Structure 1
């Protein structure tokens, strides 16, 4: 309990809120790396995921690539890229690390969002004479948006957690109090840094959860909220009744 109190005292110390290594500066660095990484990863992964989901081809490759990328240890990847890029290109190496870690979740969110759509909806859109672009933009994109935001949510949270180790290569961020405090045995500072990262992750997660909920089309939300089974479920239940009574 004393350690927690000391961590709070460190957080609310006015000296920690100003200067080059003040909390606002470190927070800005953390958010900057996170936003840039997720944006670059989205530009790469989302169009590929949409193509896979729309055409139905390449899913196995995407699953394999996503699984392999998720298995890569982030700290090891960061150190490897820093060594390959050289000490003068540390920011680029770190950014590439975060981008590679964000791609799998974004790729999965993009193609699963389109794959989850009932094929009868797509067939109905084709029957009305919609072009492939209209089907994608008016049907697939809107119905797949919640899952895409879910992938964006997962990718952002993973990057927020991983950017913490950027301080190990002297790039700042909210991991700086943690990395600095461990060798100094300033465990109050370490805990304070961990609390800051956790609080940031919780706030971002909440915002994405609200966005994901808002992205669900009103008609889909109303159908899900009513709790009414589909017509096929009614027919299946009626079919099963005679069989049950016969038993």
Structure 2
């Protein structure tokens, strides 16, 4: 019951809801970090997936290579960036790690969506005299859009959940509240005398 009471006290304390390090400021940092990483992930993954899905070549290799990233935890990538010779701190290593984390669902869903477009529709578009780019943007992309947007949604959910690791690299976000709470609640060593 002590933890529940402490949590209630924290949520009802005015000091946690105003000032430079308040919940609203940390929430803004968290959302900014999520939006930036999602936008960068989309800028990296979606053009590759759309082109490879349109061409029908090399997509399986790209999807498998990007899915290797799912096997490596974001925290491990963050630690490697922190311990690298260039020793990045703050938001940059977190952004790199989170963008790498967002790429697999974006790339996989966009590629699968493009390859899932009915071949008869593509042949009909080609028979009507459409160029490759016209087929991509007027036929294939609109039909693949539900799966592309599903990948964006999955990546966004993963980023919101994982962006708390930013606090471990000295970045902002809601992870700062969690790490501050864990340092306050850790047991203090007592002297033997």
Q: What TM-score do the two structures reach when normalised by structure 2?
A: 0.88
User: Could you say which residue in structure 2 is the equivalent of 1:168?
Assistant: 168
Offset of residue 39 of structure 1: 0.8
Contact residue 38 and residue 102 of structure 1 kept, 8 A: yes
**1:1-247 pair list within 5 angstroms:** 3-4=3-4, 6-84=6-84, 86-87=86-87, 89-185=89-185
RMSD over aligned Cα atoms: 1.8
CA distance in 1, matches of 2:134, 2:56: 17
SS at match of 1:57: coil
Contact residue 30 and residue 160 of structure 2 kept, 8 A: yes
Structure 1 runs (4+) greater than 3 angstroms displaced:
1-6, 85-90
Closer, same or farther: CA 113–81 of 1 in aligned 2, 3 Å: same
SS at match of 1:171: coil
Contact residue 85 and residue 93 of structure 1 kept, 8 A: no
Question: Which one has a larger percent helix, Structure 1 or Structure 2?
Answer: 1
Alignment gaps of 5+ in structure 1? 187-247
CA distance in 1, matches of 2:104, 2:85: 23
CA distance in 2, matches of 1:90, 1:27: 17
User: Could you say which residue in structure 1 is the equivalent of 2:191?
Assistant: none
Closer, same or farther: CA 120–71 of 1 in aligned 2, 3 Å: same
User: Could you say which residue in structure 1 is the equivalent of 2:189?
Assistant: none
- Structure with the greater relative contact order (CA < 8 A, sep ≥ 6): 1 or 2? 2
Alignment gaps of 5+ in structure 2? 187-193
